[in-house]
Amino acid sequence: MRDYVKINIASPKQILKWTERLTPKGKYIGKLKNSKKTLDKKGKCIRGGLFCEQIFGPTKKNTCRCGYYKNYKKSKKEKKHIKLCRICNVEITDPIIRNYRMGYIELNIPIINILYLNINPCYLAIITNLKINYLKQLHSGKAYITIKDKNQKEKKLTGGEAINDILSKIDLEKTLIKLTNNIHQYKEKNITIKNFKNILNKIKLYNYLLQTKIKFSWLLFKYLPVLPPNVRPIINMKNNQQISNDLNTLYASIINVNNKIIKLKESLIPDNYFINEKILLQKKVDQLINNEKYKENKLGKIINNKKLKSITENIKGKEGIIRENMLGKTVNFSGRSVIVVEPTLNLNECGLPKEMAINLFYPFIIKELIKLKLIKRLYKIKKITKILDIILENIIKNHYILLNRAPTLHRLNIQAFQPKLTIGKSIKLHPLVCSAFNADFDGDQMGVHIPLSLKAQAEARNILISINNCNSLKNGDPNILPSQDIILGCYFSNIENCNLLYILNKIQIYTNMEKIKMEYKKENLSIHNFIWLNFKNKQQIDKLKIKRKNLIKKIIFLRTTVGRILFNDIIKNFL
């Protein structure tokens, strides 16, 4: 079976399953009642508060809150069972548990999840077949419905209670059958395309709802799950100030309002008298989920008029969890420095500062050093410099690094090179790969990454290496091209200089290219000197690209310059 990920709406039972735990004593733990969102003076979590150790787990490893257990080591038998401190009821485990363990708030009245109402398409409106504006009025307490009690008394409901009542009366199958039967009639009635599309959308949605067997009451919150404490951290600063995530304040306000409603209910005050509190609870929950729409409302603001960041805002956007943390991964073993040109490098090489190399290849160096039994501890390696150089050189020989320049617009902006250790602090780059990186040397910086695993190293060598990326992707043209000074040098040495000095000179005849080179080295010939080159074979001349065919028989000589002979000599070596 293939792995898959499935998403659906959680039932209240499911939420309790995530959040509630049974202790060995037979007690259920997980419900949050106390709205204390801070730490106490010693920096410990307050019992029953939003960071309660009983509910979410210990903050220190194998240590309980009261200090009865300190760094307690579980025996093998105990590892299978849950172990609680007898005094403070804190479980003794790894504090990583605080990343996952959730709590819940039991809401006294059903609360609408604002996402089903505010986001287009409005699913609540489609399901209930009511207008969106009416639903929004119900949600904010401006409209109400009347129902009859068990005792046949009339009762007015607003908010989540009202919508709960409406949802409970819907029969999905009947409406779906009605719609599907009528679909052909709709065509005849000349209904506009927009309406027809709406009906189709409705049918689709009903189909999905029937398939998934969702109960409509699940669209409302009965139990509000509280995120694990490490997702909404609180930090104790040195001057007794505490920096806390925005979600904490939002959760605390929800608990406060909820507790108030509980008190009012306990004192047997009839429901109609605390409608305002109910609406306030609704608003608080809305703020927790989506705080964007409460721009003018004072409730959404806190000190300095800053809006609190809600859950949806934490998820979406470029800095949200999805794009920041799930798609983008922070990388170890990377560096960054200014680039500098180094013409003496080969095309598959780059210069890497020694300081950077030591830090980047740290684990590899230590591995070698431990193998050689030079050190036992990790941190002293910088003192042994002489051996370090040799070891580093050895490591670098077989280890390619990746260079990356910042706007990574296409795949040529990351290439692999063989590093060469250099003195100084800048990365040395080969001049011909500049066009691929679109780099110049006016202060550009580059990132360095190191492929760690063996597979990654192999890929860097075969696929990412700069000499295997000669052609550009978009049209197959050569990608590594000489530019600027190199071209100027080539052009200048190859040009026919029509200066009188060279023209009036008697042009010498040579048959041997080597001899010309020798003469050039002796400075008997300058680079612009004209030369008659004698070709020995006639065949050679036939294939020369000379347009005037009649003259071929007569020409055995080619008029070139010294520079051209030198340039052709280079090419000749590679043919």
Partner 1 sequence: MYSKNIIYFNKAFDKIEIKNLINWFLINYGNIKTTKLLDKIKKFGLIHATNAGISIGLNDLIIPPSKKNLVEISNKNLNKINKKFKNGKINLITYLIKEKRTWDNMNENLKIESIKNLKQNDLLNSLYTMTLSGARGNINQVKQLISMRGLISDSQGNLLNLPIKTNFKEGLNIVEYFISCYGARKGIIDTSLKTANAGYLTRRLIFASQNTIIRKTNCFTKYKKKIKIKYETKQEFKLLKEELIGRINVKTIKEKDNNKIIISYGQDICYTFKKILNHNINIYIRTPLNCILTTGICQMCYGWNLATGKIVELGETIGTIAAQSIGEPGTQLTMRTFHLGGIFTSKIKESILSPFTGKIWYDLNKNGKKTYNKFNEKIFLTSKEKKITIYENNINKSIYYLPPNSYIFVRPGEKVFKAQIIAETFDKQKKKENTKFNEVKKIKSNISGKKYINKKNKKFNNLYWILNANFITFNKFYHKLTDKLNFKKKSYTISKNMQDKNKKSKKNLQLKISIKNILNNMEKKKSKTNKKFIFINEILNKNKTIILNKPKKEKIINNKWKIGKFILKDEITNKNRNLYPSQIIQEKKDTSVLKKVTPYRLNDKILDKNPYIMKKNALLYKAVTKKEKNKDIIQGLVEIEKLFEAKKSFIIDKTKNLHEILKDLFVNYNKKYNNSTSTRKSIEIIQKYILEEIQSIYKEQGINISNKHIEIIIKQMTSKVIIKNAGNSPFIVGEICNINSIDNLNKNYEHKIIYEPILLGITKSSLYTQSFISQITFQESIKSLIKAAIENKIDWLYGLKENLILGNLIPIGTGFK
Of the two residues 378 and 470, which places its CB atom closer to partner 1 in the complex? Answer: 470
Q: Which of 102, 214, 227, 299 binds partner 1 (CB under 8 A)?
A: 214
Residues 303-322 that bind partner 1 (CB under 8 A): 312, 315-317, 320, 322
CA distance 430 to 347: 6
Half-sphere exposure of 33 (CA within 13 A, CB side): 7
Q: Is 496 in the site for partner 1 (CB under 8 A)?
A: yes
Residues with Cβ within 8 Å of residue 252, at least 6 apart in sequence: 35, 36, 37, 50
Dihedral angle over CA of 264, 267, 270, 274, nearest 10 = -20
Q: How far is the CB of 329 from partner 1 (least distance, A)?
A: 8
- What is the secondary structure of 152-170 as a DSSP string? S-EEEE-HHHHHHHHHHT-
CA distance 308 to 303: 10
Q: Is 185 in the site for partner 1 (CB under 8 A)?
A: no
Q: How many residues bind partner 1 (CB under 8 A)?
A: 102
Q: Which residue intervals of 213-310 are DSSP H helices?
A: 246-266, 275-289
Residues 441-460 that bind partner 1 (CB under 8 A): 455, 459
CA distances from 498 to 322, 495, 526 (A): 67, 9, 14
Q: Which of 211, 267, 276, 304 binds partner 1 (CB under 8 A)?
A: 211
Q: Is 205 in the site for partner 1 (CB under 8 A)?
A: yes
Return the bridge partners of 428, or none. 340, 351
Q: How far is the CB of 481 from partner 1 (least distance, A)?
A: 6
Q: Which of 99, 499, 505, 534 binds partner 1 (CB under 8 A)?
A: 499
Of the two residues 29 and 412, which places its CB atom closer to partner 1 in the complex? Answer: 412
Question: Max alpha carbon distance in the chain (Å)?
Answer: 127
Taking CB under 8 A as the binding criterion, the range among 67-75, 92-100, 119-127, 152-160 that sits at the site for partner 1 is 119-127
Residues 244-283 that bind partner 1 (CB under 8 A): none
Q: Is 172 in the site for partner 1 (CB under 8 A)?
A: no
Q: Is 493 in the site for partner 1 (CB under 8 A)?
A: yes
Q: Is 342 in the site for partner 1 (CB under 8 A)?
A: no
- Known binding residues for Mg(2+) are 440, 442, 444
Place of tokens 């067997």: 213
Place of tokens 């039932």: 11
Residues 533-562 that bind partner 1 (CB under 8 A): 533, 537, 539-540, 543-544, 558, 560
- Known binding residues are 64, 66, 85, 88, 440, 442, 444
Of the two residues 362 and 502, which places its CB atom closer to partner 1 in the complex? Answer: 502
Q: Which residue intervals of 424-484 are DSSP H helices?
A: 434-437, 454-459
Q: Is 488 in the site for partner 1 (CB under 8 A)?
A: yes
